[in-house]
Structure 1
Amino acid sequence: MKAQVFRGVNQLSYEEVPLPQIEPDEVLVQVKVVGLCQSDIKKILYPLYEPPRIFGHETAGVIAAAGADVKGWKAGQRAIVLHHIPCMHCNYCLNENYSMCDVYKNITTTAGFTPSGGGFAEYVKVPGHIVRNGGLMEIPDGITFEQASFVEPTNCCMKAVKKAQIQPGQTVLVTGAGPIGLMFIMLVNYLGARAIATDLLPSRIEKALNVGAAAAFDARDPDLAQKVRETTNGMGVDASLLAVPSDKAFFQALDCTRKGGKILFFAEFPDELEIPINPNVIYRREIDLIGSYSSSYRLQKLSADIVFGKRIDVDALVSDRYPLSELNAAVEQAIKPGPDTYKILIYPEMA
């Protein structure tokens, strides 16, 4: 089968690799579409992992084969693959910190080499632990593979808005109107709150309004904080979601968030970046600083229901489609996005 193999920093090789062989409790999935995630791009561009590996994890496809011991799944069923499943019995899991569980972090879905997701290939193997514990979810009739591939990123974003305790009637600042920021806007609206978005690109500011933002501003506007207060009866927003790894965005959020509000870090910042802050600002204004990493096992079914029930418009997030053979070009576009670049999807079978 064909796969995009990570051979070193910024080195992807489109090559023939062996078809994964499954054990009796495993499932083989033919990949129909896989989303290109910022975490994939980071793994490709930086020396974080030893090659060779096959990345890709926002995967939707068709079951090609099921082992003899697999129950409830058979060849021909359409399914999404969730590459993270926690152990459910460690101290992290018992405290619902599923994404900190070692089993969760140890990715086991694979298309070959060291297991690393495996979605950037024609086929991916799903191990028994994932199969038995909810890591396969059937795609219902009427839902495309494209739409289904959004369940995992929806879970990640839903976890963040849940951690920020966003309530109906609240106002939320979303910094950055890329695909994640746009999904935040949709989920904020889904929860009955309203979103204010910021971005540097006029096209993304307009897109934020098109997907439901109550207001959207240029992040360089020197009067941003004042404009946000004017739209919130002088209070400021109840919560800010940082969808871009920018210290400037953090300080803008600090200026725009009301006393007693929350600021949530969602985008991963460069390791060398440090943000100096006077702790009395947090103390006196009672601002909660929160981090949200990856997805939540508890939110799997809700996230699937949101996507499969078309409660948010994930189709509006897709801007570009590439065949698997052109993954390099897709990554290049993602790191140097045009004014209308949002979510990029990859297709093993695309001509």
Structure 2
Amino acid sequence: MKAQVFRGVNQLSYEEVPKPELGDDEVLVQVRVVGLCQSDIKKILYPLYEPPRIFGHETAGTIAAVGKDVKGWQVGQRVVVLHHIPCMHCDYCLNDNFSMCDVYKNITTSAGFTPSGGGFADYVKVPGHIVRHGGLMEIPDEITFEQASFVEPTNCCLKAVKKAQVQPGQTVLVTGAGPIGLMFVMLVKYFGGRAIATDLLPSRIAKAKEVGAEAAFDARDPELAQKIQALTNGMGVDTTLLAVPSDKAFFQALDCTRKGGKILFFAEFPDEVEIPINPNVLYRREIDLMGSYSSSYRLQNLAADIVFNKRIDVDALVSDRYPLKDLAAAVERAVKPTEETYKILIYPELG
């Protein structure tokens, strides 16, 4: 089979690799579409992992083979593959901190080499513990593979919205209107909140309004805080979701978030970035700072319900489609987006 093999920093090799061999409790999925995630891009562009590896995890496809001990799954079923499943019995899991679980973090879906997701290949192997514990989800007939590939990123965004306790009637500032920021806008609206978005690109500012933001502004606007105050009866927003790794965006969030409000870090910052802050700002204004990393096992079914019942318009997020052989070009497009670049999807079947 064909796969894009990570051979070193910014070195992808489109090559022939052996089709994964199945154990008795495993499932082989033919990849139909896989989303290009920011975490994939970081793994490809920075020295974070030893090669060789095959990345890709926002995967939807068709079951191509099942091990003899597999129950409840048959060849031909259309499925979403979820690459993270926690152990459910460690202290982290017992406190619903599933993404901190060692079993969760140890990715085991694989297309070869060290298991690393495996979606950037013709086929991906799903290990037994993921098969048995909800890591395969059947795709309804009326849902496309493209739409289904959004279940995992929807879960990640949903976890952040839930952690920030966004309530009906609240106003939420979303910094960054890329595919993640736009999904935040949709989810905030779905849960009854009012979204305000910021970005640097005029097209993304317009797109945010198109998908449901009540207002959207240029992040460089010197009157941003005043404009947001005007939209919130002088209070400021209830919550800010930081969807870009920018210290400037954080300080804007401090200016725009009301007393007693919340600021949630969703985007991962470079490790060398440090943000100086006077702790009295948090103390006197009672601002809650929090982070949200990856997805939540507890929210898998809700994320699937939101996508499969089209409660948000994931089709509006797709801008680019690339064959698997052109993954390097897709990464380049994501790093240097055009005015119209949002979510990029990859297709093994296109060659």
What range is the shorter-chain TM-score in? over 0.9
The structural deviation recorded for 1:215 is 0.2
- Map residues 237-256 of structure 1 onto 2, 5 A cutoff: 237-256=237-256
Partner SS, residue 270 of structure 2: coil
Cα deviation for residue 102 of structure 1 reads 0.1
Shift of 1:346: 0.0
State the distance in 2 between where 1:89 and 1:72 align: 24
Partner residue of 2:334? 334
Shift of 1:204: 0.4
Deviation sequence 1:146-199 (CA, Å, 0-9, x none) = 000000000000000000000000000000000000000000001000100000
Normalization by structure 2: what TM-score?
1.00
Q: Provide the C-alpha distance between the structure 2 equivalents of 1:176 and 1:301, rounded to a whole number of angstroms.
A: 27
Partners of 1:219 and 1:32 in 2: CA distance: 37
Q: Does 1:159 align with 2:159?
A: yes
Residue 326 of structure 1 aligns with an amino acid whose one-letter code is: D
Where do residues 303-314 of structure 1 align in structure 2 (5 Å cutoff)? Answer: 303-314=303-314
- Whole-Å Cα distance in 2 between the matches of residues 134 and 102 of structure 1? 17
**Which residue matches 1:170?**
170
Q: How much has 1:350 moved relative to structure 2?
A: 1.4
Structure 1 counterpart of 2:149: 149
CA distance in 2, matches of 1:63, 1:204: 37
Distance 1:230 1:71 in 2: 58
The corresponding residue for 1:209 is: 209
Q: TM-score, normalised by structure 1?
A: 1.00
Could you tell me how far apart the structure 2 residues matched to 1:4 and 1:146 are? 20
SS in 2 for 1:349: helix
Q: Which amino acid aligns with 2:165?
A: Q
d(CA) in 2 for partners of 1:46 and 1:117? Answer: 17
Partner of 1:7: 7
Return the letter of the residue paired with 2:220: R
Alignment of 1:287-326 (within 5 A): 287-326=287-326
Gaps of 5+ in 2: none
Q: Does 1:182 align with 2:182?
A: yes
Q: Which residue of 2 aligns with 1:106?
A: 106
What's the secondary structure of 1:19's corresponding residue? coil
The equivalent residue for 2:48 is 48
Measure the CA separation in 2 of the matches of 1:202 and 1:246.
18
1:18-167 equivalence runs, <5 A: 18-167=18-167
Q: How far, CA to CA, are the matches of 1:331 and 1:170 in structure 2?
A: 36
Kindly, what percent of the aligned residue pairs are identical?
85
Distance in 2 between residues matched to 1:340 and 1:178, nearest whole Å: 10
Cα distance in structure 1, aligned partners of 2:14 and 2:213:
40
Question: CA–CA distance in 1 between the matches of 2:93 and 2:40?
Answer: 25
Kindly provide the amino acid, as one letter, of the partner of residue 285 in structure 2: R
Cα distance between partner residues in 1 of 2:28 and 2:204 = 38
Residues 312-337 of structure 1: per-residue CA shift (max 9 Å, x gap): 00000000000000000000000000
State the 4+ residue runs in structure 1 displaced beyond 3 angstroms.
Answer: none
Q: Residue 343 of structure 2 aligns to which amino acid in structure 1?
A: K
Cα separation, 2, equivalents of 1:254 and 1:339: 28
1:233-279 Cα shifts (integer Å, max 9, x gaps):
10000000000000000000010000000000000000000000000
> What is the CA–CA distance in structure 2 between the aligned matches of 1:294 and 1:162, rounded to whole Å?
13
Hey, what's the Cα distance between the residues in 2 that align with 1:350 and 1:229? 49
CA distance in 1: counterparts of 2:201 and 2:59, whole angstroms: 29
Q: Distance in 1 between matches of 2:344 and 2:218?
A: 24
Which secondary structure does the structure 2 equivalent of 1:155 belong to? helix
SS state of the match for residue 196, structure 2?
A: strand
